[in-house]
Chains A and B, each alone.
Chain A
Amino acid sequence: MTSPPFRYARATSVDNAIAKGICNGSAFIAGGTDLLQLWKAGVTAPAEVVDISRLPLSEIDCSNDTLTIGALARLSSVAAHRDVAMHHPLIADTILASASGQIRNMATVGGNLLQRTRCVYFRGQDVPCNKRQPGSGCGARDGVSRQAALFGTSAACVATNASDLAVVLIALDAEINIQGGAGARRVCLSELYRLPGDTPAQDTTLVAGDLITGVIVRNVARFAGRMTYLKVRDRASFEFAVVSVAAALHIENGVIVESRLVAGGIAPLPWRLTQSETMLLGKVPSDAVFVAAGDLAIQGAQPLSENGFKIELLRNSVFRALQTIGGAS
């Protein structure tokens, strides 16, 4: 065992977890599937690991088109939940396309949203990475950049966010409940993530002690039957996305009245394709319109030496996702 030792404490309540979480060097552990990997790889060295997995935050409730998921619900429990499978198949399907059965049995929803990038330099050792070791440089930018982002990057970091669930939840305008030293707040999930800028070590807007307690998804019935998550990956299962697209359409009298398009694998955070969304409004669904949405999606892409293929992949994925859900009903 070469990774450094840490203290272990089991949180006895949400307040207790927050009090412990505020302390310098402490880290929450939920399913542990990312935290322990990062600890083994020497990326993180917590002084104290605060076990939150037994806190009563794993309820899943679905009523009146409002789905609330406790942050500590295991991915497999969410996907298998009757109401989720019935009323939120997009969420269930996305989870079932993530990781493996073993990992889904361990991984929690909160942990999934906070998992760190899969950039190989970040998870490697003795290679430069500004996210792991600020000021050391970015290995990926001029090195192996196949994984790297096309949008939202900075000179300091070009890493992508790896969560599938986050892409879909942002497409569904999900909110999260947070409790911390300063009390409780509810924010849009999209406000959780931040761009790397000059400080790529910080992935999110959370501060020490902040505990995500749950996720809320409301009012998605308008997209019923017209939602999809297209995940393109290097092998058919048990693999992260190279490029992914969550798409949802609300069509009334044959015209698109609302649209959501969010892409994964191409930016430091789930990337909302606002231009494509806006262009679709008022349009009659057709292949031509969907092709145009794909063309708009790739505008402004900034490829590096090895990830240019993602541009065409993104364009085609947007088209295919829209084609899947945009047909006559």
Chain B
Amino acid sequence: MAKHHVQTTINGDPIEFLCDTEETLLDVLRNQLNMTGTKEGCSTGDCGACSVTVDNRLVCSCLMLGVEANGKKIGTIEGLASGDKLHPLQQKFLEHAALQCGVCTPGFLVASKALLEKNSNPTETEVRYWLAGNLCRCTGYDKIVRAVMDAAHEIRSA
């Protein structure tokens, strides 16, 4: 079957790719564009490891087709750090030891960034509610929530 030609912007860069209809955006990112920061946990929308933003909306890339991304602005974990400088969220995840195996971490970071862009001063409840779509089976959520609260504080006072 003919491949589809898709034009997108990923983390600010114009990116074109060819994909089969049945490739998800997650497949395309990982297998074609070598952007393996975005993880596959469940592939059914349950875990949030594959979280990316599409036109600034946080979504699960495992439940979106690559072809559906045509003309859209995608944001992935690779867009968080600037060069060697970690994003404050990444830095705080390290400081708070908010990860163990790390498979869920990119999803949490992308989701947390989307939250802080909407709400720079979330309450703990708001953080927990927002991150309900991201599952972690190692760390427990307390350290993650604390890291996000701390990063929010740092970004506000920067």
How distant is the Cα of A68 from the Cα of B15 in the complex, in angstroms?
Answer: 37
A25 to chain B, nearest CB (A): 14
Q: Which of A40, A99, A100, A105 has the most CB of B within 10 A?
A: A100
B65 to chain A, nearest CB (A): 7
Chain B positions near chain A (C-beta within 8 angstroms): 1, 4, 20-24, 27, 43-45, 48, 51, 57-60, 62-65, 67-68, 111, 129-130, 132-134
- Identify which of residues 21-78 in chain A touch chain B, using a CB-to-CB cut-off of 8 Å: 29, 31-33, 36-37, 40, 49, 51, 53, 74, 76
Q: Does A292 contact B (CB under 8 A)?
A: no
What is the size category of the interface that chain A forms with chain B?
20 to 34
Contacts of A53 in B (CB 8 A): 68
For the complex, would chain B's binding face be called helix, strand, loop or mixed by DSSP majority?
A: mixed
Is A6 touching B130 in the complex (CB atoms < 8 A)?
Answer: no
Residue of B nearest to A101 (CB): B133
Is B43 touching A7 in the complex (CB atoms < 8 A)?
Answer: no
Q: Does A86 contact B (CB under 8 A)?
A: no
Given A100-B132, A102-B58, does the pair A51, B68 have CB atoms closer than 8 Å? yes
How distant is the Cα of A74 from the Cα of B65 in the complex, in angstroms?
Answer: 17
Contacts of A4 in B (CB 8 A): 22
Is A8 touching B111 in the complex (CB atoms < 8 A)?
Answer: no
0/1 interface trace, chain A 98-116, chain B, CB 8 Å (1 if under) = 0111110110000000000
Contacts of A5 in B (CB 8 A): 1, 20-22
Contact of B4 among A8, A100, A105 (CB under 8 A): A8
Given A7-B21, A8-B21, A237-B129, does the pair A40, B60 have CB atoms closer than 8 Å? no
| 10 further interface pairs, Cβ-Cβ under 8 Å (given A5-B20, A105-B58) | A6-B22, A31-B63, A36-B62, A51-B68, A102-B45, A103-B45, A105-B57, A237-B129, A238-B132, A238-B133
Contact of B44 among A8, A37, A76 (CB under 8 A): A37
Residue of A nearest to B20 (CB): A5
How distant is the Cα of A31 from the Cα of B54 in the complex, in angstroms?
Answer: 12
A-B contact pairs, 28 of them (CB 8 A): A1-B23, A1-B27, A4-B22, A6-B21, A7-B21, A8-B21, A8-B65, A31-B63, A32-B63, A33-B45, A33-B63, A36-B24, A36-B62, A37-B44, A40-B43, A49-B21, A51-B67, A76-B57, A99-B45, A100-B45, A100-B134, A101-B58, A101-B130, A102-B45, A105-B57, A106-B60, A106-B63, A106-B64
B71 to chain A, nearest CB (A): 9
Q: Does A275 contact B (CB under 8 A)?
A: no
